[in-house]
């Protein structure tokens, strides 16, 4: 059901620029969080840190869990951006991956990596809540 996007070449360049900028920023954030995660893992494996009895703050296990969750979110967002960039290349960017309908420009401006039109996004959100 997918057809070619109705976005102009200038529109596609605009959104590609937004996506590439977002991806670069995300790569920087991923690098920082990976370094932090590595530090926490090293501290957990060190064996000399007795953080389980520290009443002042979170344990290393709690920090590892929190940071690894953020890391996973960043990786998922990076994959979403990469899929959007691939859709620009294959000519399907700006079309809902579910229904093939155009994704509104306002939605793409707010979420350049959007894969779903607003109706499909609302439906998916409602299903998650149910």
Q: pLDDT for 8-30, tens place per residue?
A: 999 999 999 999 999 999 999 99
Q: What count of residues does the chain have? A: 130
Number of compact structural domains in the chain: 1
3-state secondary structure of 95: strand
Residue 113 lies in a domain: no
Residue 105 lies in a domain: no
Q: Which DSSP string do the residues of 97-121 spell out, in sequence order?
A: TTT-PBPPHHHHHH-TT--S-HHHH
**How close are the terminal C-alpha atoms of the chain, in Å?**
28
pLDDT at residue 1, rounded to an integer: 46
Contact 118, 110 (CB under 8 A): no
The domain in which residue 27 lies consists of: 7-93
Residue 88 lies in a domain: yes
- Tens digit of pLDDT for each residue in 36-94? 877 777 776 766 554 555 555 567 778 778 888 888 999 999 999 999 999 999 999 99
Residue 27 lies in a domain: yes
Whole-model pTM: value is 0.79
Evaluate if residue 130 carries a pLDDT over 50.
yes
């Amino acid at each position: 059901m997918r057809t070619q996007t109705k976005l102009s070449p200038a529109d596609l360049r605009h959104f590609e620029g937004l996506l590439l900028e977002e991806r670069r920023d995300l790569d920087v954030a991923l690098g920082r969080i990976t370094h932090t995660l590595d530090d926490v893992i090293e501290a957990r494996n060190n064996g000399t840190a007795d953080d389980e009895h520290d009443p002042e703050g979170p344990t290393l296990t709690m920090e590892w869990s929190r940071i690894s969750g953020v890391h996973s979110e960043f990786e998922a967002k990076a994959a979403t951006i990469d899929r959007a960039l691939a859709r620009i290349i294959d000519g399907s960017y700006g079309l809902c991956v579910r229904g093939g309908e155009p994704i509104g420009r306002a939605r793409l401006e707010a979420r350049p990596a959007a894969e779903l039109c607003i109706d499909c996004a609302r439906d998916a959100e409602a299903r998650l809540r149910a």
